[in-house]
Amino acid sequence: MSCEIILSQDHDGRRLDRTIRSIWPALPLSAVMRALRKGEARLDGVRAHSGDIRVTGGARLYVPWEEPGGEAYEQKAKTSNTRAVPIIWRGENTLVIDKPAGLLVQPDVKHGDSVITRVWGMFGAGEQGFSPAAVHRLDRNTTGALLVAMSGGALRELERIFRERLISKRYIAVVVGDLPKSGLIDAPLLKDETTGVVRVDSYGLTAKTRYERLDTIRVQDFVFSIASIDLLTGRTHQARVHLAHIGHPILGDGKYGRPETNRRMKKEVKRPLLHAYELAFPKNLTGDLTEVSGQVFRSEIPLDMKKFMPDSTKANG
């Protein structure tokens, strides 16, 4: 089955891969990339082999899957994704989700469970005009504040201010050891596309993380620190890799953490204890982003992390 649609002005200037994923939010990224790689998607009759092509409003988009508003597509998606996700704040053009642990931001299989498909089930999606789209990513087991665009204009502007690093992203983590009081980690990161593992490497992309120790706590014969983390860049697994790089990995991190500590704490810790605590927007935003101008959104620290925090830290966040 295939279909052809006319793109609305909401998509003007967007990347093709992001356009497709906003119209078909239940479609896995792997399916989108496979169709592009095989030349199965076309813009105004021309085969599109790359996701970074910029589209224009009014262009004809042909894809090798069913129409987003089709009965079969709608029924499959709604049947698979009827659960809701907690909401921190909702405006006309933006939505701030309180992401739980264990949930992907985007589906990894067709109609798979994810934040964005749950948002679709809550607010509608798959329309030819625009569907809610996640502006950034959190790892499956990272909790906290996640920003979703509810209009094309908001998405373009949010992607711009993220790209220009105008949004402040603050995380809270429980890390192994007595973390220094504060510091800046400036270490380039390189991702192995085959394994998905990220490492510090001089050939990698610039990555900077600022941290501050909020408190320390002793559990059994371990010392842990409560860290406030500001990501000055937005690389994959940045906080996890940077903290491990300076010898203070996040507690519970099976990929970059300390195996012996994780093993001994496995009854208390089921995931990397990393939480996206705060999103702070710059002032003087206009247009579709007027509603979030100067706003600060916070996600409550989850219970599995609170039990490692002294009362003073819980109060101050």
| Matching residue, tokens 């200037």 | 13
Which listed residue (10, 17, 139, 288) is catalytic? Answer: 139
Please give the C-alpha separations between residue 215 and each of 172, 225, 251, 270, 305, in angstroms, as whole numbers. Answer: 11, 6, 15, 22, 13
- For residue 150, count other CB atoms closer than 10 A to its CB: 20
Q: Is 15 within 8 Å of 54 (Cβ atoms)?
A: yes
Query: Which H/E stretch holds residue 106?
Result: none
Q: Is 139 a catalytic residue?
A: yes
Q: Is 108 within 8 Å of 26 (Cβ atoms)?
A: no
With 0-12 / 13-18 / 19 or more C-beta atoms within 10 angstroms meaning exposed / middle / buried, residue 296 is: exposed
Q: Is 41 within 8 Å of 21 (Cβ atoms)?
A: no
CA 171 to CA 145: how far, in whole Å? 9
Q: Long-range contacts: 301-306, Cβ < 8 Å, 24+?
A: 301/172, 301/275, 301/277, 302/101, 302/143, 302/275, 304/101, 304/268, 304/269, 304/270, 304/271, 304/273, 305/172, 305/174, 305/273, 305/275
Return the structure tokens found at 30.
Answer: 């792997």
Catalytic residues: 139
